[in-house]
Structure 1
């Protein structure tokens, strides 16, 4: 996919997620506004103070950007980036990212700095490159999508973050708690390339992020994503000891060595309950956001649908961190 230069005078329409009223919000806004003002770049910045406002604000800013030939920018974590990107994809507008989350997998994969000031400066000299996204039942995902235990883990993690604060340590401890709590196993059927397979699993995880696969130690899945596919990981039926072993391998980047996983890559896949009685809803996590979707689930890859502003070579370095349990 070929890079192009965006219009250097194109106005920026920035959606900044203020989170839960963090004291850092004012500093983040001042940093963004100060750098852009100094560069003489035209921009509009919209603050989102409540999660329920994010989609509405994103729609408004995308509409303005489309009318003005501008660039849409999401400032926040992977969930915020997903919501703004979802509104941007159909508009044809270029899309920029200022990563401000806990793990920032999407931004780091594309060499976007985690430091806000550096990210804003990189945005001003970035080139547009179409990037691959995944989709499940018409909802996009940039990093991953999953059903089963993982959506439960995300809901518990969000509750724990509200109580104990946002950090990678809190996220890890919350994951440990969820993994060792009682949970149901799903009985599902998967259809790939016309072939049907039955599976009993606690989690079906579909990845679209090379960095996350690398940190889990899933080298073949990294190559699959590079080749334009999605990477699937399903946990076979295991007890608590087996779950502990899987988590330990994930933390040290050796999940690929585990024998109680089913892994494969695909471009399109249908997932449905083994026994199907009319409509059935299931919780699906997409980039950290949990929603209810009707079965069956249709997963597929979309190439070049998101026109991402990426820093040039050498502008940023992908940060290495012990965050494999995200």
Structure 2
């Protein structure tokens, strides 16, 4: 099988590691498995050109290594409405900080372990969510989240665990002093007025249970999850955090949750900053959210290696 391999040389997992050496190792894994790899390592504008070249090539599968933002860039190019040629599956090699989609798909979080698992796996189709003209695969976050993303990027090369403590401190300061969102949610036509500092729209609703804050019930349910925190006091925030740890946060009175196929976020502001899977965008209001059902084909490991998967 002809395989295009594209790695983001600036991915978080590659900090301190030579990207070319990682690419060579992955190429060797592909060659040993009998595949024909063509690899590229790039970052910035060159990464977009490398993704374009991979999609335009005769590769039968596109393997992409990077964080959630890199995976979005690849997914955009592989959507049926954007591609000119035949559909190819996207293989995700986790190299970011959170790797949320990879976790939901059961992909090992080391690229060297993920690659053999994907090659021996199957394909499945998952939903893609859209806000205005921007796609996201995990979540879209107006409110305090874009500030957190900006601060995280400023601290990207800071050494040691202290940067995470500083980021937590920044988060609490934002909740105490950050601006509030005054919005009207139109969820499948039902208006809901909200005043909140944080809002989350997820590609399919989130699961409940211990440590399941970023896990989703399904990836192909065709429904958006909508979540907001109504927090006026620091005590409310601490209680909500405790329930997040316990896995009961969706039942907290400070948390508002609903599900819908289409959601509009109406604001008095002409534009709002939104963090889509860790990438900031300044978008015109109203923010219009919808689902593209089963629009993206991805490679996944087999749930049971002894039991063959049924092809789609």
Q: Secondary structure at the match of 1:234?
A: strand
Q: How far apart are the structure 1 equivalents of 2:193 and 2:261?
A: 19
Q: How far apart are the structure 1 equivalents of 2:288 and 2:204?
A: 19
| Length-normalised TM-score, structure 1 | 0.81
1:144 deviation in Å? Answer: 0.8
Residue of structure 2 in register with 1:55 after alignment: 48
Q: Secondary structure at the match of 2:302?
A: coil
Q: Can you list the C-alpha shifts for 1:95-144, whole angstroms capped at 9, x where unaligned? A: 11111122211112111111222211122222221111211112111111
1:241 deviation in Å? Answer: 3.2
- Two-structure CA RMSD over aligned residues (Å): 2.6
Match of 1:37 among 31, 36, 39: 31
Residue of structure 1 in register with 2:158 after alignment: 163
Residue of structure 1 in register with 2:6 after alignment: 15
Quick check: 1:132 aligned with 2:127? yes
Residue of structure 1 in register with 2:96 after alignment: 101
| Length-normalised TM-score, structure 2 | 0.85
1:293 deviation in Å? Answer: 0.9
Residue of structure 2 in register with 1:263 after alignment: 257
1:17 deviation in Å? Answer: 0.9
Quick check: 1:154 aligned with 2:149? yes
Match of 2:223 among 220, 229, 236: 229
Task: Give the number of the structure whose residues are more often helix, by fraction.
Answer: 1
Q: Which runs of 5+ in 2 are unaligned?
A: 306-312
Q: Secondary structure at the match of 2:115?
A: helix
Q: How far apart are the structure 2 equivalents of 1:189 and 1:17?
A: 38
Q: Which runs of 5+ in 1 are unaligned?
A: 1-8, 316-326
8 Å contact from structure 1 (residues 147, 284) kept in 2 = yes
8 Å contact from structure 1 (residues 229, 267) kept in 2 = yes
Residue of structure 1 in register with 2:247 after alignment: 253
Residue of structure 1 in register with 2:282 after alignment: 292
1:192 deviation in Å? Answer: 1.8
What aligned pairs does 1:68-83 form with structure 2 within 5 A after superposition? 68=58, 70-83=60-73
Match of 1:178 among 171, 174, 178: 171
Q: How far apart are the structure 2 equivalents of 1:225 and 1:39?
A: 29
Q: Can you list the C-alpha shifts for 1:155-184, whole angstroms capped at 9, x where unaligned? A: 21222222236x7x8446513422323200
